Amino acid sequence: MFERRVTRQISVGDVLVGGGAPVSVQSMTTTKTADVDGTLAQVYALAGAGADIVRITCNDVEAAQGLAEIVPRSPVPIVADIHFQYKLALAALEAGVAALRLNPGNIRNESHIKTVAKAAKERGVPIRVGVNGGSLDKDLLEKYGSATPEALVESALTEIRYLEDVDFTDIKISVKHSHVPSMVASYRLLADTVDYPLHLGVTEAGPLPGGLIKGVAGIGTLLNEGIGDTIRFSLTADPVEEAKTGRALLEYLGLRERKGLDLIACPSCGRAEVDVIEVAQRAQKALEAENLPIQVAIMGCVVNGPGEAREADIGIAAGRGKGHMFIKGQVVRVVPEDEMVEALIDEARKLVEEGVEARLAAADSNAEQLSRLAREQLVEIQGDANDAASKRARVAEVASG
C-alpha cells in the first residue's frame, strides 16, 4: 500500500481535507445558482451519489443571493466558485459558504485577493487556489510559452504568497490541465514544493468514455503515488456521474470504505453455460438499484467460477441449467438458471442485513454436493473445453526448444 503524502489539514465545513483525513469527493452543479430549488435538487443528487463537497458558481449578484438560501439547506458543504469579480467572493462569504475557489488567472489584482483573504480569515473559511491550464495568466504564458507544469506551479505560488502576506494559510491548491501528462507533472512538482493539501482533477476532460479514462489516468496515477487529498472528475456529463466515478475510484484504490456495488465478471470461455455479458448487465442494473455495498461475481460456469471468485462477497456461476450461488467461495444454494439473477439479489440483501457468517450458516446442506456433481458432469461432457492441456504442452515445447 502506498504512503500518502503528509499535508496540512483544513476544514471545508465539517469535511476535513488533508492531514491524513480520507480523500474526499467533489463535484459541481450545472444549474443556474439563482434557481435555488433546482440547484438544491442537484446538490442532494450529488450527495446521494457520493459527493462530500459540492462547488457552485457565484458569477453574479443573483447567484450570491441564491447561495444565501442554498447553503443552510444543503446536506454537504458548499464551495463558491468565483469568476473575475472579487466582490462576489465577499458576497459568497456573507452567504455563508464553507469555502471559496479563486482562479489566479482571472482575479489578478493583489489588493483584491488580499481583501478576500482577510474576510475569509475572519470567518474561518478556506480558499482553494485553483490554477487552470486553460485560463493561465497571460504573463506566465508569455514567460513559459505555454501552460507548462512550471507555469502552473508558479501561478499557484504567486497566489499563495499574496494569501500568506496577510497571514492566511487555510489553503488547498489545484493545478489542473486537460493534458494528462502535464497535469500529473504539475501536481508532482507542486507536491515537492508545498505541504498544503491538493485538489486533484483533469480539467475539461470531456464526455464519456474518454473523459472518464483521462480522469482515472491522471487522478489515479497521483493517488497511487500518495498525492492528493480531494478529487473531482470534470466530465461533460451529468455531474452525478462525476460523484459516482470519484467515489468508485477511491473505493477501488482502498482509500474509502465501499458504499456501492463492485461487480466483477469473467470474460467467458469455452465452458460458459450462459451469456455472461447479458447476465452481468441484468445483475448490475438490479443490484445498483438496491445500492448494496458488496462485491458480486458473475461467473460463466461452475467448474472454476466459485474458486476463481472466492474473494467476492457473493457470486453465482452457471452449470447444467442451474445457478450455483456462492458466498466467499462456498456454494450455499443451487437455483434454476432462469431464476439466478433474482435469487442472487435476494441473497445479497440478506447478506448485507445478516452478515457473512449468518448466511454461510444458513446454506443449503446439499448445495456443495450438487455443485460438485455439476462440475464433474461438465468436465466429463466438455472435456478440456479451453484446450488447456495441449496449449500447455505447446508452450513447454517452445520454451524448451
DSSP assignment of 193-243, as one string?
A: T--S-BEE-BTT-BSTTHHHHHHIIIIIHHHHTT--SEEE--BSS-HHHHH
Query: 297 or 149: which carries more pLDDT confidence?
Result: 149
pLDDT digits (tens, 9 = 90+) for 84-109: 899 999 999 999 999 999 999 889 89
Q: How confident is the model at residue 385 (pLDDT cuts 50, 70, 90)?
A: low
% of the chain with per-residue pLDDT over 70: 95
Among the listed residues 139, 216, 221, 162, the one whose alpha carbon sits nearest the alpha carbon of residue 187? 221
Q: For the segment 4-58, what is each residue's pLDDT rounded down to a tens digit?
A: 999 999 999 999 999 999 999 999 999 999 999 999 999 999 998 899 999 999 9
Report whether 296 contacts 312 (CB < 8 A).
Answer: yes
pTM of the model: 0.82
Q: What is the mean pLDDT of the chain?
A: 91
Q: How confident is the model at residue 391 (pLDDT cuts 50, 70, 90)?
A: low
pLDDT for the residue numbered 242:
96
Q: Are 173 and 190 in contact (CB under 8 A)?
A: yes
Question: Any residues with CB less than 8 A from the CB of 248 and at least 6 apart, and which?
Answer: 50, 260
Read off the pLDDT of residues 262-273 as tens digits, 9 standing for 90 and up: 888 877 666 666
C-beta separation of 230 from 23 below 8 A: yes
Q: Mean of the pLDDT values across residues 130-141?
A: 93
Q: Is the pLDDT of residue 212 over 90?
A: yes
Instruction: Compute the distance between CA of residue 336 and CA of residue 107 in angstroms, rounded to an integer.
Output: 65
**pLDDT value of position 388:** 62
Q: Which helix (H) or strand (E) holds 174?
A: strand 171-176
* pLDDT at residue 203 is higher than 60: yes
Residue 360 — pLDDT band, cuts 50, 70, 90? very high
Q: Are 176 and 130 in contact (CB under 8 A)?
A: yes
Whether the bond into 209 is cis, omega within 30 of 0: yes
Interval 302-324 mean pLDDT: 83
The answer to whether residue 253 scores a pLDDT higher than 80 is yes
CB-neighbour burial class of residue 196 (10 A; exposed 0-12, middle 13-18, buried 19+): buried
Which domains, ranges and CATH numbers included, belong to the chain?
9-252 (3.20.20.20), 262-382 (3.30.413.10)
